[in-house]
Amino acid sequence: MATELRVEHLTAGYGMLEIVRDINFTVRTGQRIGLLGRNGAGKSTTLAAVVGLAQRQQGTITLNGQDISTKPTYRRARAGISLVPQARDIFPSLTVEENLLAGLNGRPSREALEFAFGMFPRLRDRRANGGSQLSGGEQQMLAVARALVGQPQILLLDEPLEGLAPQIRDELMDTIIQMTTRTGIGCLLIEQDVDVVLGFADQVLVLENGRCLYAGTSEALRKSPEILEQTIGLGKVQ
């Protein structure tokens, strides 16, 4: 069954503090969305609000037409929305496999674990290693793989490539693309590199100071790089 996450007129922040205002987007099964914006624009806050980790002040968040905006975070996760946060949040004292099992929400599934190892063979090789013994890239893979074993319908990735060397970035991005294609999962990716976002996403949102400055197709943005230049100075699209 197709899944649809719909965010309408979302205004959100921390307590009374408003960070993002009037944000609108939809992520459906098989769809890839990119979220761009300068540091501090409100990208992470937007996703945090979607999963209930930041305060929704106005607007609605629905999953398949059901309002989820007042549900606690774990209920949103069970309903099929998974966030890989910008802080990798892996458990350093647990092994790779234990970290992955922690992503199963109490629903053990060998199949899901094997699928994650299939997507990230490096993690299979290191399944008995402690989380703290992994490189930055491996930790990032583990964070994505852990979300994957929960078999979400909608996957929200907050800068999964941050801080990684170019070759590892390419490798992880290829895996993310393969994974979304194979699972048909709906995916929203936050990433600073415009070319990566345009190569990944069908639809793109650009945030600046908590407002949405652009929402449209990657194709249209590719043809109008001046939108990026004028708004957030993200530079020319190659």
| Residues in touch with ligand ATP (CB under 6 A) | 14, 17, 19, 37, 39-45, 86
Q: How far is the CB of 212 from ligand ATP (least distance, A)?
A: 12
Q: In angstroms, what is the minimal distance from the CB of 110 to ligand ATP?
A: 35
Q: Minimum distance between the CB of residue 158 and ligand ATP, rounded to whole angstroms?
A: 7
Task: Give every strand in the sheet of 4-14, ordered side by side.
Answer: 17-28, 4-14, 55-63, 66-67
Among the listed ranges 76-84, 85-93, 169-177, 215-223, the one in contact with Mg ion (CB under 5 A) is: 85-93
Candidates 12-20, 26-34, 41-49, 57-65: pick the segment binding Mg ion (CB under 5 A): 41-49
Q: How many CB atoms lie within 10 A of CB 135?
A: 13
Dihedrals phi, psi of 210, to nearest 5 degrees: 80, 0
- Among 53, 127, 51, 142, smallest CA distance to 89 is for 142
Among residues 51, 12, 6, the alpha carbon closest in space to that of 33 is found at 6
Determine how β-strand 17-28 pairs with β-strand 32-37: unpaired
43-72: contacts with Mg ion (CB under 5 A): 43-44
Q: How far is the CB of 232 from ligand ATP (least distance, A)?
A: 11
Terminal-to-terminal C-alpha distance of the chain = 37
Sign (positive/negative) of CA torsion 119, 123, 151, 60? negative
**Using CB distances below 5 to 8 A depending on partner kind, what does residue 220 bind out of ligand ATP, Mg ion, none?**
none
Q: Does 180 bind Mg ion (CB under 5 A)?
A: no
Nearer to ligand ATP, 123 or 190 (CB): 190
Complex with ligand ATP: residue 2 or 17, whichever CB lies closer: 17
Residues that bind Mg ion (CB under 5 A): 43-44, 86
